């Protein structure tokens, strides 16, 4: 059949329909299908401008034919064309009910109720009273294909979307603005679009918070096939943005800052998250029951630095995830007004404490730990800033790691570490102890510190152990190596501040600018103190070999520190620097630290001797080199 422009196409169309009827009487279904297809193609050609009434007539006839062939997908698509032409089909709802809905009602009701139970029992749905099956605004119209349906709007009495249940795209990644945060998805109703996102998010070990614009339509779509954890998990579904907001105001759950708006291009999600964040910062609105990281600032006589540090940290967009703990160790100088400013800050993330008397650095360190609510504490000097640009990555490591005891992070200028890790015990001790000379950037598992007695031990032994007095944070590093995985991180968490120009240096042993802890005698006391720490370690109680290995590490460290003091300070004096190395050797091999009854005695003495000779040769070489330079001048 052909139609020409300006021809009497209604007559031709009616004739073609009559011809098709005759073909059907002779059971020529294939030929009838071909003629129908040609006729539909013609009437849909805009060139002929066929009136809608005539189009509807053709579509209705074709739909009846498709129904008899059980070609239900094309049948429903053709019925939608009738609707789009502005016409209705007599008795269509009864036909749909009798042929597609009523025969499947019991099955769909059972599936729907099972899916609702799945969602509610797993706490995936933010409602205690979801719609009943009878209240659903849509029927599902099944087709000849499994899990393939059309949705029928009960109120408008119209066939709507064509859907393939639980058929979603498999994509590799989603955009994120925050490596730590979960995801917020805002979608109209389509579960397939949601699943495209949630199945990627799940591989990232993150949760999906989903706000559905049309909950009735969403729930209607799940009556056709059963849900399970392999399809949908780690989600929380809300029926409107207001419900989402109320939930995060009511709870202390971390805000999902990776927001994806699948409805429109507006900033409604970002604005909503910012509103909730500001609400949480006000007094009385913080839950504070699941703080992940406490940023701890023990401070003394540097209020200006501490104030700048706090104001910098408060720029972070995190709220329930973090807290800032400042402990002022009885400042008495001109910076007191800055501490008063800190005390007056109205931000729920900030905890401020002030000692009545100077308790010293170690006890002030204990105080920030005791005040902290976080599972982990990040120690930082008041003069150093935290790099907020990498905070999300650090928080993500803390949340996703199992049995993590400590992270030693890098800094902008001084400390650069490669990413590496070691399990608790011997491996952690041998690879990570003695690396935290500087406190800033240490992240410690505060729960482990408290649970295993790391704070109590420090307090109890502080007066008799100079190592604890000078390096309490290094003791915690050694202590925590026993109880969990220890890591180095290449993330530059610390931005070192300028050296305080008001630091007072002492003149000791005839050497100016020599800190007391770098004196020869102080290093020896630190050696003794560290040995006693090793003796008390839980992992060493029944492992003498490990204990001796740690002691040999200590000897090497002590030689290194003495050599550092020699190179930086004592070499500028007339002190007997080779004699200092001999004193160090005598200390390390003394019976105080080397029980002669030990099977390892000779082996350990040989190691210490070799270490001594190495440092001795290094020092002699330097002395000779300096003498040559002096003679040349």
CATH number assigned to the domain comprising residue 389: 3.90.550.10
- Judge contact between 412 and 507, C-beta under 8 A: no
User: Would you place residue 5 in the very low, low, confident or very high pLDDT band (cuts 50, 70, 90)?
Assistant: very low
> 83 and 127: one domain?
no
Per residue in 267-277, pLDDT (tens digit) is 999 999 999 99
Check whether 184 has a pLDDT greater than 70: yes
138-142 vs 148-153, strand pairing mode = antiparallel
Check whether 19 has a pLDDT greater than 90: no
Mean pLDDT confidence for 407-432 = 94
> 98 and 45: one domain?
no
User: Would you place residue 153 in the very low, low, confident or very high pLDDT band (cuts 50, 70, 90)?
Assistant: very high
- Asked, for residue 3, whether it belongs to a domain, the answer is no
Average model confidence (pLDDT) across the chain: 91
- Asked, for residue 4, whether it belongs to a domain, the answer is no
> 134 and 233: one domain?
yes
- Judge contact between 563 and 618, C-beta under 8 A: yes
> 354 and 481: one domain?
yes
CA 425 → CA 74, 123, 359, 417, 442, distances in Å? 67, 39, 32, 21, 19
Mean pLDDT confidence for 206-222 = 97
> 406 and 330: one domain?
yes
- Asked, for residue 621, whether it belongs to a domain, the answer is yes
> 435 and 448: one domain?
yes
Check whether 615 has a pLDDT greater than 80: yes
Q: Which of 69, 72, 62 is nearest to 38 (CA)?
A: 62
Per residue in 45-72, pLDDT (tens digit) is 876 677 888 888 889 989 999 999 999 9
Give the contacts of 314 (CB within 8 A, at least 6 positions apart). 324, 345, 347, 349, 350
Domain boundary pick from 48, 67, 89: 89
> 312 and 270: one domain?
no
CATH number assigned to the domain comprising residue 46: 1.25.40
Domain boundary pick from 39, 64, 89: 89
Give the contacts of 565 (CB within 8 A, at least 6 positions apart). 514, 518, 519, 520, 523
- Asked, for residue 240, whether it belongs to a domain, the answer is yes
- Asked, for residue 600, whether it belongs to a domain, the answer is yes
pLDDT score, position 502: 52
- Asked, for residue 1, whether it belongs to a domain, the answer is no
Q: What is the percentage of the chain residues whose pLDDT exceeds 70? A: 94
> 75 and 210: one domain?
no
pLDDT score, position 571: 80
- Asked, for residue 534, whether it belongs to a domain, the answer is yes
pTM score over 0.75: yes
User: Would you place residue 92 in the very low, low, confident or very high pLDDT band (cuts 50, 70, 90)?
Assistant: confident
pLDDT score, position 20: 80
Per residue in 522-537, pLDDT (tens digit) is 999 999 999 999 999 9
442-445 vs 376-379, strand pairing mode = antiparallel
Per residue in 485-516, pLDDT (tens digit) is 999 999 999 999 887 655 444 555 555 556 78
User: Would you place residue 4 in the very low, low, confident or very high pLDDT band (cuts 50, 70, 90)?
Assistant: very low
Cα–Cα distance measured from residue 71 to residue 151, given in angstroms and rounded to the nearest whole number: 17
The token pair at 51 is 């009136």
> 537 and 508: one domain?
yes
User: Would you place residue 30 in the very low, low, confident or very high pLDDT band (cuts 50, 70, 90)?
Assistant: confident
Number of independent structural domains in the chain:
4
The token pair at 579 is 């004699």
Rg (CA), the chain: 38
Report which of residues 344 and 574 the model is more confident about. 344
Q: Which domain holds residue 70?
A: 9-89
| Helix, coil or strand: residue 11 | helix
Domain boundary pick from 68, 89, 110: 89
The CA angle 547-550-554, to the nearest 5 degrees, is: 135
pLDDT score, position 512: 56
Cα–Cα distance measured from residue 125 to residue 549, given in angstroms and rounded to the nearest whole number: 56
- Asked, for residue 103, whether it belongs to a domain, the answer is yes
Cα–Cα distance measured from residue 409 to residue 132, given in angstroms and rounded to the nearest whole number: 53
- Judge contact between 474 and 436, C-beta under 8 A: yes
> 72 and 211: one domain?
no
Question: What residue has token string 């009136």?
Answer: 51
Name the least confident of 74-78, 177-181, 432-436, 493-497.
432-436
Cα–Cα distance measured from residue 259 to residue 261, given in angstroms and rounded to the nearest whole number: 7
Mean pLDDT confidence for 440-451 = 97
- Judge contact between 512 and 467, C-beta under 8 A: no
- Judge contact between 494 and 385, C-beta under 8 A: yes
Mean pLDDT confidence for 382-391 = 97
> 296 and 272: one domain?
no
User: Would you place residue 8 in the very low, low, confident or very high pLDDT band (cuts 50, 70, 90)?
Assistant: low
User: Would you place residue 627 in the very low, low, confident or very high pLDDT band (cuts 50, 70, 90)?
Assistant: low
The token pair at 420 is 């590496």
pLDDT score, position 85: 87
> 395 and 413: one domain?
yes
Cα–Cα distance measured from residue 632 to residue 231, given in angstroms and rounded to the nearest whole number: 80
Report which of residues 627 and 296 the model is more confident about. 296
User: Would you place residue 433 in the very low, low, confident or very high pLDDT band (cuts 50, 70, 90)?
Assistant: very high
pLDDT score, position 413: 87
Check whether 262 has a pLDDT greater than 90: yes
């Amino acid at each position: 059949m052909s139609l020409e422009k300006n021809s009497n196409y209604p007559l031709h169309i009616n004739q073609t329909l009559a011809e098709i009827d005759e073909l059907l009487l002779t059971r020529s279904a294939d030929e009838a299908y071909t003629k129908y297809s040609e006729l539909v193609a013609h009437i849909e050609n805009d060139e002929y401008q066929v009136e809608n009434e005539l189009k509807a007539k053709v579509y209705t006839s074709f739909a009846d034919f498709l129904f008899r062939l059980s070609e239900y997908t094309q049948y429903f698509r053709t019925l939608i064309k009738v609707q789009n032409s502005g016409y209705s089909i007599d008795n269509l709802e009864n036909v749909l009910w009798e042929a597609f809905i009523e025969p499947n009602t019991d099955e769909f009701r059972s599936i729907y109720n099972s899916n609702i139970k799945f969602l509610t029992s797993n706490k995936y749905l933010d409602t205690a009273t979801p719609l009943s099956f009878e209240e659903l605004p849509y029927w599902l119209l099944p087709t000849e294909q499994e899990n393939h349906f059309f949705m029928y709007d009960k109120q408008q009495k119209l066939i709507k979307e064509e859907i393939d249940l639980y058929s979603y795209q498999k994509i590799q990644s989603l955009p994120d603005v925050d490596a730590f945060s979960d995801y917020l998805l805002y979608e109209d109703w389509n579960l397939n679009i949601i699943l495209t996102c949630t199945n990627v998010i799940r591989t990232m070990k993150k949760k999906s918070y989903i706000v559905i614009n049309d909950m009735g339509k969403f729930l209607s779509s799940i009556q056709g096939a059963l849900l399970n954890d392999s399809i949908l998990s780690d989600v929380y579904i809300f029926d409107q943005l207001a419900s989402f907001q109320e939930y995060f105001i009511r709870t202390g759950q971390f805000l999902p800052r990776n927001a994806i708006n699948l409805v429109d291009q507006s900033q409604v999600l970002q604005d909503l998250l910012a509103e909730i964040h500001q609400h949480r910062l006000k007094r009385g609105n913080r839950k504070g029951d699941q703080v992940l990281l406490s940023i701890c600032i023990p401070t003394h006589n540097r209020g200006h630095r501490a104030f700048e540090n706090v104001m910098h940290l408060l720029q972070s967009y995190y709220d329930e995830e973090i807290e800032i703990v400042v402990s002022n160790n009885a400042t008495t100088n001109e910076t007191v007004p800055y501490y008063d400013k800190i005390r007056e800050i109205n931000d729920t993330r900030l905890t401020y404490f002030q000692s009545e008397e100077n308790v010293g650095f170690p006890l002030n360190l204990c105080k920030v730990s005791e005040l902290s609510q976080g599972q982990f504490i990040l120690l930082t000097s008041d003069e150093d800033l935290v790099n907020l640009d990498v905070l999300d990555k650090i928080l993500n490591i803390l949340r996703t790691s199992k049995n993590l005891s400590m992270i030693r992070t890098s800094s902008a200028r001084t400390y650069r570490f490669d990413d590496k890790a070691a399990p608790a015990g011997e491996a952690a001790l041998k690879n990570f102890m003695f690396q935290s000379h500087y406190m800033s950037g240490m992240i410690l598992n505060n729960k482990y510190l408290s649970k295993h007695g790391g704070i109590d031990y420090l307090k109890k032994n502080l007066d008799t152990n100079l190592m604890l007095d000078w390096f309490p944070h290094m003791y915690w590093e050694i202590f925590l190596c026993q109880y969990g995985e220890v890591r180095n991180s290449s993330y530059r968490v610390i931005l070192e501040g300028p050296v305080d120009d008001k630091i007072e240096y002492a003149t000791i042993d005839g050497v100016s600018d020599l800190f007391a802890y770098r004196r020869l005698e102080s290093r020896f006391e630190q050696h003794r103190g560290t040995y006693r720490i090793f003796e008390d370690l839980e992992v060493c109680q029944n492992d003498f070999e490990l204990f001796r290995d740690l002691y040999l590490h200590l000897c090497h460290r002590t030689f290194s520190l003495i050599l550092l003091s020699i190179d930086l300070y004592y070499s500028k004096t007339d002190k007997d620097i080779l004699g200092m190395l001999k004193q160090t050797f005598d200390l390390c091999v003394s019976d105080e630290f080397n029980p002669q009854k030990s099977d390892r005695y000779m082996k350990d003495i040989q190691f210490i001797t070799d270490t001594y000779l190495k440092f001795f040769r290094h020092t002699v070489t330097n002395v000779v080199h300096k003498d040559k330079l002096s003679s040349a001048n």
